A and B are shown apart, each in its own frame.
Chain A
Amino acid sequence: MVEKVKVRIDGEVIAATAGQTILEVARANSKYIPALCYMEGLSATGACRLCVVEVSGVARLVPACTTPVAEGQSVVTSTPQIESYRKIALELLFAERNHVCAVCVSSGHCELQALAQEHGVTHVRYPYSCPRLPVDTTHPRYVLDHNRCILCGRCVRTCAEIEGAHVWDVAGRGIGSHLVSELQRPWGEATTCTSCGKCVQACPTGAMAEKGWAVEEMTKHKTVVSRLTSMREGS
């Protein structure tokens, strides 16, 4: 027996299933909440904090992607404060590494770039870090550019939860966190990698791309992950 709950999102009363998250319910009802680390078909980790919303009776902002709906809950998805925080989070991501959109294969198809535009981020107010980061070109078909990685962890979860290979993980901590394949082995030498390429499709930016594309040419098939998950659940 599936328990039904009623929640209010931005004033509209919506019927939902207990256990669903605020983000799932909102998106299923055409209410937009931005997110970068969330991806349909993967577990949610609440890392990018773009999806923070106000929930009545809760003092803190909560991430919509991991907070389950509850009967009588009232959610506000956008306030001037939330918008300003989202804008800051996007600016922080741009300032963290070297996202030079002008020379990116994913330009025009990048979630980070699109969110920045959507939120009116015309410039970044914080000092750029300009770190020196490597580009892993060892894989025959794919490339990993750490300069463009936002550590959303979608590739990590795709590989672990969908492909079952768990090639990727995040090593280090704090600002030194970085993506690693196997135990720091170059991607091309990772023996557990099946070269399925789903991580590349899951990547929201140009950090992971197929080789052979020029600026603005890399488009991704984001539904690969969610389609696989729903097919498996359906079986």
Chain B
Amino acid sequence: MRIQDLAAFAAAREAGLAKLLPSRPRIAVGMGTCGAGNGAEAVYHAFRDEIDTNGLDISLAPVGCFGFCAEEPLVNVWLPGRPLLVLRRVQPNHVGAILDAVAHGGLPPAETVLCKIEEWDHLTGHLKYGAGYPDVPSWDQVPFFHGQVKIVLRNCGLINPDDIEEYIGVGGYQALYKVLIDQNPTAVLEQMKASKLRGRGGAGFLTGNKWEFLAKAAGPEKYLICNADEGDPGAYMNRNEIESDPHSLIEGMVIAGYVTGAPRGIVYVRAEYPLAVLRLEQAIEQARAYGILGDNVLGRGFAFDLDMVEGAGAFVCGEETALIASLEGKAGRPRTRPPFPAQKGLNGKPTNINNVETWYNVAPIVAKGPAWFTETGSPKSSGTKVFSLVGKVRNTGLVEMPLGTPLATFIYDIGEGGTNGRDIKAVQTGGPSGGCIPADMFDTPVDYETLAQLGSIMGSGGMVVMDADNCMVDVARYFIEFTHSESCGKCVPCRVGLDKALRMLNRFTEGTASLDDLGLLDELCRMVRDTSLCALGGSAPNPVLTSLRHFRHEFEDHIVAKRCRAGVCQDLALSPCENSCPLHMNIPRFLQLYNEGRLEDAFLSVVMDNPLPASTGRVCQHPCDDRCRRAGIDEPVNMRDVHRLIADEILLSDKFEPMVARVREQRLEPTGREIAVVGAGPTGLACAYYLALFGHSVVVYDSRPAAGGMLRYALPEYRLPKHVLDREVELIERMGVRFMFNTSVGTDISLNDLARQYDAVFMAIGTWKETWVYLPGTELTGVLPALPFLEAASRKEEVPVGSKVVVIGGGNAAIDSARTARRLGAEVTVVYRRERKDMPAIPEEIEAAEDEGVKVAYLLSPHRIVGDKNGQVRALEAVVTKPGEFDTSGRRRPVPTDEVIRLECDTVILAVGEGVDPDFCRASGLTLNEDGTIMADRYTLETSRERFYAGGDLVTGASNVSNAMGLGKKAAREMDQRLMGQKRFPQLIPAFAYRMEPPETPAEVGRHVPPEAPASERVKSCAEVSLGLTPAAALAETSRCLRCDIRSTER
């Protein structure tokens, strides 16, 4: 059917509309590459078979992709007069139920219903589907779609890409027809210029101006080229656009042909996109058949034809001069400009190249006018841009947003934050040529200029989200590896510079780089950026340069500490668990030793890595669980409880004495050096223990009467029985550590005294100051800070707790206070201002508290404490909050509502956080950090005063036991190295011979979790809640380890 007049055009439009809104139900399956990859083909065939077999009167069509990749395959279901239903994750086994629902006019299975569309603005046309389904959210109420403005993707996922009539049905080719009838190319050109549409390929050059160059260039031989050589890893918007709506591309190019006087267009498309190639080929054929391409376009006497050329898969051919060289049959290498393609392009003739997405904006601009277009977007960057949101974000997919939208909207609103609730660290925009933007800059609006200021680019619109599991050094290395292998090799900076940058980055990831390499790499990357011939080399260093700018500390970690915190760089870690452990325990080793029945060896292995294994075995936050690769099979190995058992088996038995002797054997020769440790908490104990093993003479000062710090005075007995801690302290003492209790440094003995008496001083007095909230009523009787409360309870002193207690806070101290108060017989409510998932306390502890009858009230922000006339607490008034915008911590900020509730109580425990003692810190005369903590070198822990070191919470602010001990251990190592002039730590660790082969097949048993005393019993006493693993369970647990510490198995 050749359209040569308006009547024929109108007829095609009617035919198309009749297919889109037929008089019978229509089912459309999203059959883009993404849908097909998730099984859409099988779903389509299942529908086909069912419909044919049962002779159902239902229209079935393939459509493109609606953009929500995380929920593929998507299926549209429409009943006449009702909204279009978008179904998600449809599998062939859903087909019967869906067809049933269609037959009865009901809803398909609830788990498949994503949203509804009542009407849709195709911009060139408008479809009214109908009303109904009150319980189904409208498409723009779904977080992933909320705020999206679909200009480029206006037809994607809604029309059949293989059917030109459906395109015409939604108003397609009408803009072209209008342009041909108006016969005023200059006016169209002015429209394009006024729209301020900028090239969507990345460079952002004004499209109207480019067209003008071509229009003015001498003809008649001129070319229009569509650059569909999309090659960025993680970017696939062009593919989806062509697969879902090829005719929009054709229409844009034909309009441009008329405006610029170019009679021919070429689409240069990646050969790796077979479906896009196929659909475009079919679309071009159909367009020819319908008279939209050819000698007489739409009967208006204008000739334009379009060809498609498949690119051979060179990334550099996305660069326009390389693309032209490739079209000319030459090697795809760029050449210098000038001359620009508008002067001398394909075959030496004037040529205009635009990206796929740019062409998709043409028809809407012509149809609706430039003023409409500039309404969307920011002043300098009008319109929208399609981004592919991928990586560590919950909702992945193609997102079309107005330019100028802040990054936070993409990541936290559209993407709904990190996968598994993890904190997002950075986003990489613009593909391998873009840069990494850190999370604290997520208020950045996404437009050409702002991204460039941050050292990144818009590029093709890739957006790769990264969390703490991504190593920024490795990310930079990955992208350089890509661009290095895609460099054409013509110019020196790109060919050799990227190769050298890659070699240097490899040294970083292997831990063999030096600090000088940082400057060298930075300078090299600047040189490559500033002197490369084309944009590939010019932008390839961006990932490195931005990472060096925003994540320099990660590079330094790889060099100085030889650590990759993300656990990505394998050469720098023994295993993921070891890397995540603040004490860097050799976890696979003690698991294997225990597995071989060697309890004593296993204990020695544990205690050489961690002097408080029984305590940490009870209270550690176990970051190892999050890293354990066993989680990929079932659940992580319960490493914490195994080392608790190993420790208990020795410490609490008659094996203790022989083991003390064995650990003492590990001590190095006495050095005669004397070191003071201030603070007998976990940090100080860890440090003192290792210093003693190194052969130094160690004295530990503490203002309290016994050792253990928070472990003894803040952790409740039911979590950590004190007789267990006593044994650990005894072991440390018998390594030669001497204690001076009831001695306050600063009052009883000055720092200057210590400096005179000792060769080095380590300070670790922790964070004992409860943060005070500025809340009316805190002066009332019955308001208690958490730490003194817990300390009094631990000393078994009388604690003035009433019968109704409210605890304010969400950390471990809040939960410990609540459970302690519960054991003292009170009714307890914990008030927390955010949501449960935001609580810093260990999740198991929160659960246990709830089991014991503690109520936890979320989204409540304390307003005031109400007292009676005697000054006694009567109630807490709290404002109900609701989750608001995401803050830079990636959590939703609590927003107060008008609702205030009153909680009757007689005691309020404040557990909103602990801080360092500011008086001590100021009096120390040492340089402090902004938050009042003591400043210590990131790697050596040395303070501003020579020979004075500091660690633990005193340096970091309130943290947890294992982090604190990790710093104590590190301080001992660094102090010893400074005093003795060599690295002696490896000498401490004895050699263990144990099986170094991974299990052939991992044991098929689930994670062993220790039993707990029943909640009803345990609230009656302070007896320990967790009963620990049995030896048999621990043995079985060790056989679950996958042995990530073994790298190769040379047999």
Contact = CB atoms under 8 A, between A and B. Distances in A.
B523 A173 contact: no
A93 B496 contact: yes
B531 A52 contact: yes
Contacts of B492: 47-50, 89, 92-93, 150
Contacts of A174: 484-489, 495, 498-499
Contact of B523 (A46, A88, A169, A176): A88
A116 to B, nearest CB: 13
Interface string B494-516: 01111110011001000000000
A84 B523 contact: yes
A208 to B, nearest CB: 19
Nearest to A125: B520
B532 interface: yes
A95 interface: yes
Interface residues of A, number: 37
Interface string A160-192: 000000000110111111000000000000000
A169 B488 CA distance: 14
Contacts of A81: 530
B496 A96 contact: yes
A228 interface: no
Given A125-B520, A127-B500, A177 B489 contact: yes
B499 A85 contact: no
Contacts of B488: 173-174, 177
Interface stretch (A2-10, A63-71, A212-220): A63-71
Contacts, number: 109
Given A46-B336, A84-B523, A173 B491 contact: no
Interface in A44-83: 44-50, 52, 60-61, 63, 66-68, 81
A50 B527 CA distance: 11
Interface in B454-469: none
Interface string A136-176: 00000000000000110000000000000000011011111
B335 interface: yes
B493 A172 contact: no
A151 B495 contact: yes
A151 B530 contact: no
A32 interface: no
Contacts of A84: 523, 527
A68 B490 contact: no
Interface string B530-552: 11110000100000000000000
Contact of B527 (A85, A175, A176): A85
A125 B499 CA distance: 14
Nearest to B530: A61
Contacts of B538: 60
A61 B485 contact: no
B490 A45 contact: yes
A67 B337 CA distance: 8
B336 A63 contact: yes
Contacts of B316: 173
B895 interface: no
A60 B533 CA distance: 11
B478 to A, nearest CB: 16
B355 to A, nearest CB: 21
A66 B527 contact: no
Contacts of B426: none
Most buried by B among A47, A125, A169: A47
Contact of B314 (A63, A68, A173, A175): A173
A129 interface: yes
B114 interface: no
Nearest to B503: A127
B203 to A, nearest CB: 13
B524 A126 contact: yes
B632 interface: no
Given A84-B523, A88-B523, A89-B527, A68 B338 contact: yes
Contacts of A60: 530, 538
Contacts of A173: 314, 316, 486-489
A126 B530 contact: no
Interface residues of B, number: 34
Contact of A47 (B331, B498, B523, B533): B533
B520 A48 contact: no
Quick one: which of A63, A89, A126 has the most chain B CB within 10 A?
A126
A127 B504 contact: yes
Contacts of A151: 489-490, 495
Nearest to A129: B499
A60 B535 CA distance: 11
A118 to B, nearest CB: 17
Contacts of B489: 151, 170, 172-177
A174 B488 CA distance: 5
B468 to A, nearest CB: 31
A67 B338 CA distance: 7
Nearest to A175: B499
Interface string A196-214: 0000000000000000000
B527 A45 contact: no
Contacts of B533: 46-47, 49, 63
A88 B530 contact: no
Nearest to B496: A92
B32 to A, nearest CB: 31
A199 B493 CA distance: 24
Given A52-B531, A126-B524, A173-B314, A92 B491 contact: no
B160 to A, nearest CB: 40
B527 A126 contact: no
Contacts of B484: 174-175
Nearest to B537: A49
Nearest to B491: A47
A49 B496 contact: no
B554 to A, nearest CB: 21
Contacts of B527: 84-85, 88-89
A84 B530 CA distance: 12
B931 to A, nearest CB: 39
Nearest to A126: B500
A177 B495 CA distance: 9
Given A175-B489, A175-B495, 12 more contacts: A45-B335, A47-B492, A68-B338, A88-B527, A127-B507, A129-B499, A129-B503, A169-B331, A170-B489, A174-B484, A175-B496, A177-B490
Interface of B: 314, 316, 331, 335-336, 338, 484-493, 495-500, 503-504, 507, 520, 523-524, 527, 530-533, 538
Ranked 7 nearest A-B pairs via Cβ = A177-B489, A92-B496, A46-B336, A174-B487, A66-B336, A126-B500, A175-B499
13 contacts: A45-B490, A66-B336, A85-B531, A89-B531, A92-B492, A92-B496, A126-B520, A129-B499, A129-B503, A151-B490, A170-B489, A173-B488, A177-B488
